[in-house]
Amino acid sequence: MSKTSPGNFFEDFRVGQIIKHATPRTVTTGDVALYTALYGTRFAVQSSDAFAQSIGYPRAPVDDLLVFHIVFGKTVPDISLNAVANLGYANCRMLKPVYPGDTLNAVSEVIGLKENSSRKTGIVFVRSTGWQRDGALVLEYVRWVMVRKRDENAAALGDHVPRLPTALDAKLLGEACPPIKAQDYDYGLAGSPCRWSDYEIGEKIDHVDGMTVEEAEHQLATRLYQNTARIHFNQFIEAQGRFKRRLIYGGHVISLARALSFNGLANAFHVAAINGGRHVAPLFAGATVFAWSEVIDKTELPNRTDVGALRVRTIATADHPCGDFPAKRGEDDDPAVILDLDYWVVLPR
């Protein structure tokens, strides 16, 4: 019996296949402290037990993206160890708040397969789900990833491409946000007077600040999530590869952009869903990440007067301040845009 796993190749996947992922993980206040040290996040609900309790949480919940990264990390050894590229996310929904002490597990279902015309690779679509020890679901998302074939001559089983909505319906949002006592939400402590009603569709916000990324930082982050994708850690191999460098985990960019977005979206305390996300270009250590956001939709939530939702598009760039709201990559070798993220956040009304 082979003791090491070579990971799955394109021809190993079947539509309908269920893959239970390894390494359950108990999230702790240690993980939360590291997450703060890695990104400098300042959302009051996640930062303070006292603040969270004042609006009705039992204690400070774990940052939604930390939960996402831990669940995502578990899927890597089975889904994307032989990936060429992570192509996109969709339909990511937070279903339940997670607190320190909770244990996270992950399972994926293969929901689509499409061989590429080169016959060297194919696209695998999976719906991954994070769940707690009692079986309660905490998050689900779809991602699609280009995976190598082990054998170019292996027969494909026929394409099956799932239909995915462009954005999650607002009726499906908010389950991971308990009812809050909006009247007790302290806007002074939270860092901004701007509530849900203060934002308008079409409004653009430059988040101003920039954060330079070091190799040690993204490695610490990605290992914290027990994400083993080789391209993030192995300079000896990557030096011989396409980029000559270690590639930074895309989720690290998402968390940096989210932390930067505090300056402009301080009361958007909860990421309820990710409609879609694209890593437009790779990020490497030494670059400085900037971000800006546009409010692209706004909605009440069913049966709730405490909070409302904004659909936000956040663009992150490398070495390019966002005062000019760049939405495309620049000419030639300008790295400019690296992330284009479409998501729903929840704010007090």
- Nearer CB in complex with a second copy: 88/321: 321
Would strands 288-300 and 211-212 be described as parallel, antiparallel, or unpaired? antiparallel
Structure tokens given for 12: 């190993």
When the beta carbons of 59 and 119 are compared against a second copy, the nearer one is 59
Q: Which is nearer to a second copy, 200 or 331 (CB)?
A: 200
**For residues 16 and 135, which CB has a smaller minimum distance to a second copy in the complex?**
135
The nearer residue to a second copy, 161 or 239, going by C-beta atoms, is 239
Query: Could you give the CA distance from residue 259 to residue 34 in angstroms, rounded to a whole number?
Result: 14
Distance separating alpha carbons of residues 228 and 81, to the nearest angstrom:
8
Closer residue to a second copy in complex, CB, 30/58: 30
What single-letter amino acid sits at 136?
Answer: A
Minimum CB separation of residue 226 from a second copy in Å reads 5
- The β-bridge relationship of strands 337-348 and 307-318 is antiparallel
Nearer to a second copy, 169 or 198 (CB): 198
Least distance in angstroms from the C-beta of 118 to a second copy: 26
Single out the residue of 10, 25, 176, 28 nearest to residue 106, CA to CA.
25
Shortest separation between residue 304's beta carbon and a second copy, angstroms: 23
CB 6, min distance to a second copy, A: 8
Of residues 157 and 201, the one with the C-beta less far from a second copy? 201
Extract the tokens encoding 6: 């070579």
